[in-house]
Amino acid sequence: MDLSRHKTLGFRVAQAVRDHETASRAEIARYLDVSPATVGRVADRLLSAGVLREIGPRPAKAAAAATGAAAATGVAGRPSKLLQFNPYIGSVLTIDLRETDVRAAITDFDGRVLVRLARPLTGGDTARSLAELLDLVRDLLAAPRSGPAVTSIVVGAPSIVDAEMGVVEWAPSLGWRGVALQQLLAGEFGLDVLVENDVNLAAAGEYWKGAGRTVRHNLVFISVGSGVGAGIILNGELYRGATNAAGEIAYFITDVNVLRDNMGQVGNLKNRIGRAGLVRLAQLVAHRYPASQLSAMLNRSEDYVDTASILALAENGDPAAQIVYRELVNILTIVICNASLVLDPEMVIVGGPDHWNWTNLIAAIQAQIGSALLRPVHLAPSELGSDALIMGGAYAALGSLGALLD
């Protein structure tokens, strides 16, 4: 999957080897539908550049199986040496921009985390929050760590993003509009910079290293937390849409009256099942049921309400909290059913706060769906949690190797 739009044959060969973990030249040729001689020449160049490395032939049993499969297609021969992507060719600094804070990590190209850092962000003040972001990147680059030099910066923004230009078009939670983030970071640090929607990067991370690693072509990742969004992978490629707005499911229409409520700035679903929406519903329900455990919990929580605690009360049988839980399940069921009917993905992955009980939540959604749709829906919880975006950044950064892939 190419998030960088860098599509030279060198990139495609390097990406294919990394996706397969180990592969022979002949296997990559068949996978890419390119002549073995051409793949051989490109692979040799990538070996010389240090992007790939040879690790010897397959173990005997696997080699025999591969030789048998090749013989069936008439291309049998002596086992060739396996290729492997070199994850130490560089390091990637990935930034996860959130509503009130920023989290970042430096990883190698296999997603191994070398160092992390997190800081609060000042919402609603573009100049101040950008200065805070630059300070975090400086400190992270200066932090002691092992591993190779950083070759690229990848940013996941809670916004519609023009990935071609690296512009954050509109991030309501941060108050950013038309921020040329790629230009700012590249100018400040002299590194290759990729700016992408945050859920798109998380979808890439799950596709590569998480619940979607067995998916061949089509996947939808749905994220619920402070907001609601989706990342869509079709035919092995990230789908951004005609105007980079694909996956903005916070604006899903659940009723025609929503169109008259002018929800364009925040989004219908964010208002209903984003963190603030769930807390608001819980407060309304608690007011109606003052003797409930939910009401008692909210009375104790003066400054911050933990949504996981609301859901846990529901799972433990509190009737008031169960009203909130049903709203979350019902809305997610609608989203998942509609996305499945339109896109027919191999898998729908659902994720969000690490402390939610996703196993129970997905079981409740699956029970709602039952066998009502034309095709079964393969639902799975995120395996990477809050690290999905960080893994997506490592995956997306391959194009930053630039001339090494040409």
Quick one: tokens of 264? 């364009």
Question: 278 pLDDT exceeds 80?
Answer: yes
Q: What is the pLDDT, as a whole number, of residue 73?
A: 46
Contact residues for 98 (Cβ-Cβ < 8 A; gap 6+): 121, 158, 173, 226
The string of pLDDT tens digits covering residues 131-166 is 999 999 999 999 999 989 999 999 999 989 999 999
Number of Cβ within a 10 Å radius of residue 291: 9
Strand order in the sheet with 160-162: 160-162, 167-171, 176-179
pTM for the model stands at 0.91
Is pLDDT at 60 greater than 70 in this prediction?
no
Higher pLDDT pick, 147 / 383: 383
Residue 63 has pLDDT above 60, yes or no: no
CB neighbourhood size of 213 (10 A): 11
Q: What is the pLDDT of residue 72?
A: 47
Confidence of residue 6 (pLDDT cuts 50, 70, 90): low
Could you give the CA distance from residue 80 to residue 29 in angstroms, rounded to a whole number? 13
Q: Looking at 176-190, 299-313, 317-331, 374-388, which range is the least confident one?
A: 299-313
What is the DSSP pairing of strand 176-179 with strand 237-238? unpaired
Residue 262 DSSP class: T
Residues 6+ apart with CB under 8 A from 83: 17, 22, 23, 24, 25, 28, 43, 47, 52, 53, 54, 55
Residue 41 has pLDDT above 90, yes or no: yes
| pLDDT at res. 403 | 82
Rounded to 5 degrees, what are φ and ψ at 112? -75, 120
- Does CATH place domain 91-206+388-404 in 3.30.420.40? yes
Please give the Cα distance from 220 to 148 (Å, whole number): 33
**What Rg do the C-alpha atoms of the chain give, in angstroms?**
23
Residue 189 has pLDDT above 90, yes or no: yes
CA 384 to chain centre: 9
Q: For position 304, what pLDDT does the model report?
A: 82
pLDDT digits (tens, 9 = 90+) for 280-292: 999 999 999 999 9
Query: pLDDT by residue (tens digit) across 77-90?
Result: 556 789 999 999 99
User: Which of these, 200, 151, 157, 203, lies nearest to 180 by C-alpha position?
Assistant: 157
Nearby residues of 226 by Cβ (< 8 Å), 6 or more positions away: 98, 99, 158, 173, 274, 275, 276
Give me the amino acid identity at 195.
V
**Residue 66: pLDDT over 90:** no
**CATH 3.30.420.40 domain span(s) along the chain:** 91-206+388-404, 213-383
- Say what the pLDDT of residue 3 is: 64
With tokens 């997610």, the residue in question is 332
Q: What's the mean pLDDT in 105-122?
A: 96
Mean pLDDT of 93-107: 95
Residue 404: pLDDT band with limits 50, 70, 90: confident
Q: Which two tokens stand for residue 100?
A: 């009130």
pLDDT at 79: 61
Q: What percent of the chain has pLDDT over 90?
A: 76
What is the per-residue pLDDT for 327? 97
Burial code of 360-395, b = ≥16 C-beta within 10 A, e = fewer?
Answer: ebbebbeebeeeeeeeebebbbbbbbbbbbbbbbbb
For 223-264, the pLDDT digits (tens) are 999 889 999 999 999 999 999 999 999 988 888 877 776 655
Q: What is the mean pLDDT of the chain?
A: 91
Calculate the CA dihedral of residues 253, 258, 264, 270 and round it to 10 degrees: -70
213-383: which CATH topology?
A: Nucleotidyltransferase; domain 5 (3.30.420)
Within 10 Å of residue 98's Cβ, how many Cβ atoms? 22
d(CA 325, CA 367): 14
Tell me what pLDDT residue 253 has.
85
Position 328 scores a pLDDT of: 97
Kindly give, in sequence order, each residue whose CB lies less than 8 Å from that of residue 137, ignoring residues fewer than 6 positions away.
93, 95, 104, 153, 185, 188, 189
The domain at 9-85 falls in which architecture? Orthogonal Bundle (1.10)
